[in-house]
Chains A and B, each alone.
Chain A
């Protein structure tokens, strides 16, 4: 079956640092790709999405570009804040069946 691989955490950063979380997927064709985020004590929330090759999803200062040639969807943010501390999940979708990566815990220190 399909799988999603993302870098293991925890990732610890200082405020205003640059964040990258690598993500690759194995699905063939053109799956939709998402990043979901889970803040402490809260449920999963959609952070951003991209539905076709070369699309860039963006939200709250985060960006990710759908790279078909490298089957990747890396998440980036130029200047993180303490409030960005959370677990981030890279997700690919074949139809409406979501396949999640293992999650990357990010801790931003003041």
Chain B
């Protein structure tokens, strides 16, 4: 399978714990995106990378959230001191593009469902 993969698929944690999710993009894709989707809503943009550079961050990404893409391949999203409001599906997508003003087609992974108790 050469699609976007995410691990783990499900994570249950207690409030106050730290969690880390991983995303592996399609291998030739240079751009990687994180979105959050709460139940019954559409996904909301969190952040995006081109290669290893983080180019944009949403206001939704509080200082408890940090994302990295150290070698321009896989990415991790860490949430520190989790809160119940962090419970959501965290989606990763990837694309290939060279022009910052153009819109690429984004391919989504299956998501990581986080439940904070």
Interface residues of A (CB under 8 A from B): 4, 31-32, 36, 42-46, 49, 51, 89, 91, 93, 95-103
Classify the interface of chain B: helix, strand, loop or mixed.
loop
Interface residues of B in 19-50 (CB under 8 A from A): 31, 33, 35, 40-45, 48
Which of B43, B105, B109 interacts with A46 by CB under 8 Å?
Answer: B105
When C-beta atoms are compared, the residue in chain B nearest to A34 turns out to be B105
Asked if B84 is an interface residue, CB under 8 A from chain A, the answer is no
B interface residues, how many (CB within 8 angstroms): 28
* Cβ contacts A to B, 8 pairs, < 8 Å: A4-B42, A43-B111, A46-B107, A97-B48, A99-B45, A102-B42, A103-B40, A103-B41
| Given A44-B43, A89-B42, A102-B42, A97 contacting B108 (CB threshold 8 A) | no
A51 touches B42 (CB 8 A): no
